[in-house]
Amino acid sequence: MTGGPIVVTGGAGFIGSNLVDRLAGAGRDVVVLDALARPGVERNLAWLKQRHPRRVRSTIADIRDRRAVDEALASADAVFHLAAQVAVTTSLVDPIEDFEINVGGAVNVLEAARRAEAPVIFASTNKVYGDLGDVGLALTDGAYRPTDPAMRRAGVAEDRPLDFHTPYGCSKGAADQYVLDYARSFDLPTCVLRMSCIYGPRQMGTEDQGWVAHFLIRALAGEPITLYGDGRQVRDVLFVDDAVDAYVAALDRIEAVKGQAFNLGGGAANAISLLTLIDHIERLIGRRVETRFEGWRPGDQRYYVSDAGKARALLGLGQPVAWRDGVARLADWLERERPAAAPRRVGAVS
């Protein structure tokens, strides 16, 4: 480390703002590189600057702008690359823009980091494994579970073959592979974190992304929730503080984990169906939540649970926050933030 700043692309977003807060709180100078394209994230940036006026500065720019990326990363000590087009639905509407942001933007960041000799930690996604349509499933207690005992016990591991579905899956998967290859081809210290469902404070959940927060926002406002599919699909959820732990650990141990990908999620202990979450929300708020159903969407996974054993072992991670406790903490934050945190769009995700 040379004493330069850490750059967080997408640093005004949900995970990014929590990460920036942690880094600045630990005494690091941080540059937030963000286009502020997502509604509400400007409040996150203002919050960060208020909390860390001497540590946090911002560059408002798009990662497709090569010159802006080069300037922002010129003296970087390290880069956390979180900026992206994040929605499957949006990628189906405009796959070219999805590609330009997620692939072109990622290569811009990698090239600038290579010139700066700065490690890169990349936010990837479980969508790189496709829809897992070949995994045998059975309905157990109202939720889809694998028939294979090992997968049912531990979840999906990193040795699962990659299988990109939808333009979003292709673009994030391509960026994932570019990041890993820069370690091979250019000896750049890089690491990939393939995230499952991260949730927590500062999340402005919408139809396209952030379903845990989105469900809570709708429920707190007394509005209906739309489920795509039957609601029995299962995801493992991870509280944002635990995700930030992983990002910080990846940088601290970058030489040991260089060129590796890690699954990052709540694991089997935090695996829940959508209907289970809605039932819990009803208990939290003390009233019924109206639920509507629509058809399955392209690339929907009926089951995805991360086997995060490799991340826990090599990154030294502790046990994640229990999902009921984490959801209650997010509900408390959203209740305090309303109506400012209300999203502009409505609907739900799978």
Q: Which active-site residues does the annotation give?
A: 168
Give the long-range contacts of residues 144-147, CB within 8 A, separation 24 or more: 144/232, 144/233, 144/234, 144/273, 144/302, 144/303, 145/234, 145/303, 146/303
Instruction: Report the candidate in 348, 12, 49, 37 with the shortest Cα–Cα distance to residue 202.
Output: 12
- 8 A C-beta contact, residue 38 and residue 62: no
Q: How far apart, in whole angstroms, are the C-alpha atoms of residue 288 and residue 286?
A: 7
Q: How far apart, in whole angstroms, are the C-alpha atoms of residue 197 and residue 213?
A: 11
Q: How far apart, in whole angstroms, are the C-alpha atoms of residue 337 and residue 201?
A: 10
Instruction: Report the candidate in 210, 227, 220, 340 with the shortest Cα–Cα distance to residue 284.
Output: 220
Q: Which residues of 99-111 are buried (b: 16+ CB within 10 A; e: fewer)?
A: bbbbbbbbbbbbb
Q: Which residues of 126-145 are buried (b: 16+ CB within 10 A; e: fewer)?
A: bbbbbbbeebebeeeeebbb
Q: How far apart, in whole angstroms, are the C-alpha atoms of residue 131 and residue 294?
A: 18
Q: How far apart, in whole angstroms, are the C-alpha atoms of residue 230 and residue 182?
A: 41
- 8 A C-beta contact, residue 330 and residue 199: yes
Q: How far apart, in whole angstroms, are the C-alpha atoms of residue 22 and residue 248?
A: 9
Q: How far apart, in whole angstroms, are the C-alpha atoms of residue 343 and residue 141?
A: 33
Structure tokens at 131: 């829809």
Q: Which backbone phi and psi does 345 adopt, to 5 degrees?
A: -110, 160
Sign of CA dihedral 229, 152, 160, 172: positive
